Amino acid sequence: MNKDNCYQLGHIAKVHGLHGEVLLVLDVDYPDDYEGLGHVFVENGNRLVPYILEHMVPQPNNRFLAKFEEFDHVDKVKPMVGSALYLPVTALPELDDDQYYFHELVDFLVVDEELGELGKVKVIYDMETQDLIGMEYKDREVLIPLKDEIIQKVDKAEKKVFCRLPEGLVDIYLED
């Protein structure tokens, strides 16, 4: 399994107790959907390694207390702290036509209602304060907030993101 076919579910935040339990933090909108999860892929260097979950108990704030099969001591799980957790993209629930996952927007063409076609989405920055589209325009990276008042429509069939950018936003990135 490689990262190209997966999405990042969250990460291992810390060990819990002495018997191999860990605290997982999930970066998802609906953490309860993952309550019965049987396995995850854990990033180990450049590889994703599958691990079977013995249990995964919900905690407040998108956190889960979890235990991996055959990991029965704190020393076995300590090296995993900070590692990213992944699941295959095929495990994502299907969305309605007017909904989208952020990772789907990569390579979509950004079209502003005033400026027209700007460039393709290169990356999505999933930040705590706000999510951003990173696209290249005139050899510069331009960041566009993923907000309802800016993103007017996403056309999955045409692979286009239609925007109403705030006046001057693109110009800020073109200044030297």
Q: Which residues are CB-neighbours of 153 under 8 A, at least 6 positions away? A: 161, 162
DSSP label at residue 169:
H
Is residue 1 over pLDDT 80?
A: no
Locate 105 and state its tokens: 């927007």
The pLDDT of residue 2 = 80
- Domain final residue pick, 32, 63, 91: 91
Whichever domain contains 158, its CATH number is 2.30.30.240
pLDDT tens digits, 30-81? 888 898 899 999 999 889 999 999 999 999 999 999 999 999 999 999 999 9
If asked whether residues 170 and 127 sit together in one domain, one would say yes
Is residue 128 over pLDDT 80?
A: no
pLDDT tens digits, 140-153? 999 999 999 999 99
Number of domains in the chain: 2
For residue 97, is it within any domain?
Answer: no
